Amino acid sequence: MTARGLEHMEIGAGRTWRRFRRRRGGLVGLGVVVILLLTAFFAPLIAGNVPIVCRYQGRWSAPAIVETFRRVPVVGQWISPSKPFGLPSVDAKSHLSQEDVVFWPLIPFGPTETSSDSLRPPSSVHWFGTDRIGRDLASRMVHGTTVSMTVGFVAMGIATLIGLSIGGWAGYAGGWVDALFSRLIEVVTCFPVLFLILSVTVWLEPSIVNVMVIIGLTRWTSIARFTRGEFLRLREQEFVLAARASGAGPFRIAVRHLLPNAIAPALVTITFGVAQAILLEAALSWLGFGVQQPNPSWGNILRSAYVQLRWSPHMVYPPCAAIFLAVLAYNLVGDALRDAIDPRTETRTV
């Protein structure tokens, strides 16, 4: 019984992946998504003013590597910063001399590290130039990636959880439960998300957590609708009857047998949803209600570029390019995924 449920999933996933692999656009998109995720995770190793590995006063340490893992939620709390360079008050550059062995990150500037070189155009030192208070734009872009990816995934994670539960419950139970949840889905679909988020930020401190939660709480409707449809279709099929006949409870049937078969259409929506969440976060940060200075995000970098437009247009391009690339990549993956799951749309271009 369990084997059968898993078998369904294996066959479905394997076939989908084989079809997905044939799509160049999807693979390119997936590649970019992986690069963005790696950048987001290893941001301190790519850009920062703490050395990756160094030998200082006869002791070896790896402050940036420690820092990378300290940023992982939950686990990170138990890791203490690598002394002395992991501490924010210590300026590694002034402490380390020529004789010390040091491996700096690729971009040896911190995202919030200021300098007197303000509003410099791109050069070999500052690849993307610097902003009004002399912060390295390349470093800020790298660390902004972490924000965008986190928002995309956490917000859609919340949305997926709600969407699958409500859609699955409605589709499986049917009757008045279905009617009730269907109305709820209709109501929430009509929510003007941006307006709601802005309304909330009136009375809550603008923070990235609030943004993620609100996007998650409002963007689950299409996931729920697809899941409901799939559950309605699947619950009458023989393998469900077989599971029920062998004594499986409703929860077990829903999770072990229906969910693996119903996840595919939701997955496409989730992929597009991540792109939408990234866009929404950038828009909110641009308006000043998302990530707050000095923390970097693509949206607030774009905002400072807007403010400094007449003097230094160079600041506009990196965030624009990054937003375009990220959204394009997720859209490509979503489209390829949809084609791979539903062979009827095989003939679509791109």
Residues binding other proteins (CB under 8 A): 178-179, 182-184, 186-187, 190-196, 198-204, 275, 279, 282-283, 286-287, 289, 302, 305-306, 309-310, 313, 316, 320, 323-324, 327-328, 331, 349-350
Tokens of 167: 């859609």
Question: Min. distance of Cβ 163 from other proteins in angstroms?
Answer: 17
Question: Min. distance of Cβ 260 from other proteins in angstroms?
Answer: 24
Tokens of 261: 């078969």
Q: How far apart are CA 300 and CA 146, in angstroms?
A: 14
Q: How far apart are CA 264 and CA 199, in angstroms?
A: 34
User: Of 143, 139, 146, which is closest to residue 37 (Cα–Cα)?
Assistant: 146
Question: Min. distance of Cβ 152 from other proteins in angstroms?
Answer: 14
Q: Quick one: 64 or 215, whose CB is closer to other proteins? A: 215
Q: Quick one: 78 or 195, whose CB is closer to other proteins? A: 195
Tokens of 78: 């138990």
Q: At what angle do helices 137-173 and 259-287 cross, to 10 degrees?
A: 140
Q: Quick one: 229 or 260, whose CB is closer to other proteins? A: 229
Q: Quick one: 9 or 283, whose CB is closer to other proteins? A: 283
Q: Quick one: 116 or 349, whose CB is closer to other proteins? A: 349
Q: CB burial class (10 A; 0-12, 13-18, 19+) of residue 45?
A: buried
Question: Min. distance of Cβ 38 from other proteins in angstroms?
Answer: 21
Q: CB burial class (10 A; 0-12, 13-18, 19+) of residue 47?
A: buried
Q: How far apart are CA 59 and CA 272, in angstroms?
A: 48
Q: At what angle do helices 24-41 and 137-173 cross, to 10 degrees?
A: 120
Q: Quick one: 103 or 306, whose CB is closer to other proteins? A: 306
User: Of 340, 328, 349, 250, which is closest to residue 30 (Cα–Cα)?
Assistant: 328
Q: How far apart are CA 211 and CA 299, in angstroms?
A: 13
Helix (H) / strand (E) element for 102: namely strand 101-103
Question: Min. distance of Cβ 26 from other proteins in angstroms?
Answer: 13
Q: Quick one: 203 or 251, whose CB is closer to other proteins? A: 203
Question: Min. distance of Cβ 331 from other proteins in angstroms?
Answer: 5
Q: Quick one: 25 or 157, whose CB is closer to other proteins? A: 25
Question: Min. distance of Cβ 330 from other proteins in angstroms?
Answer: 8
Question: Min. distance of Cβ 126 from other proteins in angstroms?
Answer: 19
Q: Quick one: 74 or 202, whose CB is closer to other proteins? A: 202
Question: Min. distance of Cβ 329 from other proteins in angstroms?
Answer: 8
Long-range (24+ apart) CB contacts under 8 A made by 287-293 are 287/198, 288/206, 289/197, 289/198, 289/201, 289/206, 289/211, 290/206, 290/208, 290/211, 291/147, 291/208, 292/206, 292/207
Q: CB burial class (10 A; 0-12, 13-18, 19+) of residue 53?
A: middle
